[in-house]
């Protein structure tokens, strides 16, 4: 109707109608040319700070562009920016957060983490892709693998409430997409493009409770007749996730029980043994076992760094002398966390 109103001055209604149809036939259909970005959730699983190593995770960034039905610019330069998130003070490294706790990490569109994923707003490097309109169709997209990696040697990163703890970072308003359609030649530089939209990546890491344990040998020394008790100590080295509670149990060894341990004569018979006991305290009053038969376990709270736990050993005085030789036992320490 608007086309007909524009031709009221013509003398012939038939000619007016024909011109209206011709003019309306060549009018282009309006269709916006836009690009967008979306990313699958990126999680770095099972991060154990006490191991002192890096942990990785990945996600897929999808960039999509749409062309109008009639256009003279079949190429699209797309720049995807990741600014400084809510728990970071910079971009190398970035930090995931849980309350006031922080976990450092890096993120990039390559496994070498060079360059890191950044933003033109902070003079760092965005992800840059070029899409071309397909011969048949108006939509093109591409996928980019995003890699994230925690930094090593973050020994004191804690868990909360003695359970696996999620660390995360928000990118509201700082994860942006800028794009430009062009005909031929070199794609425009990302630094010349203004962001035209946002998206919301989700980046998390799960920090777990974990413990490492090792021991030194306990040696009662050399003796003849055991007319007086003999005491000695050894050490366990324990390294547990910061804020993780732990318990350490000692079993009954290879030749006895937690209530009655024995060292066996090398190459000897079952009767050629020396009784002994292990304790949790310097007073040698609390037998160290697995919590059964009147024994106790040692408990503690991890700091992320190595802690030393003393094992107290005692051989009681005996009426008869043991057969000369070397006596030993092997006790297994188990840490629960």
Q: Tokens for 209?
A: 């409770």
229-232 long-range Cβ contacts below 8 angstroms, 24+ apart: 229/314, 229/315, 229/316, 229/317, 230/314, 230/315, 231/284, 231/312, 231/313, 231/314, 231/315, 232/313
173, 176, 189, 191: which is closest to 37 by C-alpha?
176
Rounded Cα distance between 315 and 86, Å, is 60
- Closest alpha carbon to 62 in 82, 80, 79, 37: 37
C-alpha of 123 from chain center: 27
Rounded CA-CA distance 115/94 in Å is 14
Q: What is the pLDDT along the chain (337 residues), one digit of tens a residue?
A: 333 333 333 333 333 333 333 333 333 333 479 999 999 999 999 999 999 999 999 999 999 999 987 778 999 999 999 999 999 999 999 999 999 999 999 999 999 999 999 999 999 999 999 999 999 899 999 999 999 999 999 999 999 999 999 999 999 999 999 999 999 889 999 999 999 999 999 999 999 999 999 999 999 998 878 889 999 999 999 999 999 999 999 999 999 999 999 999 999 999 999 999 999 999 999 999 999 999 999 999 999 999 999 999 999 998 877 889 999 999 999 999 9
Count of alpha carbons within 13 angstroms of residue 103, beta-carbon side: 34
What is the pTM (predicted TM-score) of this model?
0.85
Tokens encoding 189:
């530089």
299/215 Cα distance (integer angstroms)? 16
């Amino acid at each position: 109707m608007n086309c007909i109103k524009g031709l009221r001055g013509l003398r012939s209604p038939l000619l007016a109608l024909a011109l209206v149809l011709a003019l309306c036939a060549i009018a282009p259909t309006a269709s916006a040319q836009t690009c967008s970005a979306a990313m699958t959730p990126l999680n770095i699983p099972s991060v154990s700070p006490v191991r002192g190593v890096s942990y990785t995770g990945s996600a897929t960034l999808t960039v999509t562009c749409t062309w109008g039905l009639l256009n003279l610019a079949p190429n699209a330069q797309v720049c995807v920016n990741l600014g400084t998130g809510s728990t970071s003070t910079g971009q190398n490294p970035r930090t995931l957060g849980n309350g006031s706790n922080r976990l450092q990490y890096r993120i990039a569109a390559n496994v070498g983490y060079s360059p890191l994923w950044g933003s033109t707003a902070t003079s760092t490097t965005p992800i840059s892709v070029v899409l071309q309109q397909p011969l048949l169709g108006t939509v093109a997209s591409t996928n980019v693998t995003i890699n994230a990696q925690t930094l090593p040697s973050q020994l004191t990163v804690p868990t909360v409430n003695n359970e696996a703890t999620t660390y995360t970072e928000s990118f509201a308003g700082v994860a942006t997409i800028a794009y430009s359609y062009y005909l031929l030649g070199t794609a425009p530089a990302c630094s010349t493009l203004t962001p035209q939209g946002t998206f919301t990546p989700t980046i998390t890491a799960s920090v777990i409770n974990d413990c490492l344990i090792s021991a030194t040998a306990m040696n009662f020394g050399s003796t003849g007749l055991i007319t007086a008790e003999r005491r000695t100590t050894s050490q366990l080295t324990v390294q547990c996730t910061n804020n993780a509670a732990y318990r350490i149990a000692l079993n009954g060894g290879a030749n006895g029980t937690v209530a009655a341990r024995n060292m066996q004569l090398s190459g000897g018979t079952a009767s050629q043994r020396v009784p002994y006991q292990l304790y949790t305290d310097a007073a040698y009053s609390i037998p160290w076992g697995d919590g059964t038969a009147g024994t106790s376990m040692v408990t503690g709270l991890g700091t992320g760094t190595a802690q030393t736990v003393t094992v107290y050993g005692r051989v009681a005085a005996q009426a008869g002398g043991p057969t000369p030789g070397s006596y030993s036992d092997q006790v297994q320490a188990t840490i629960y966390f």
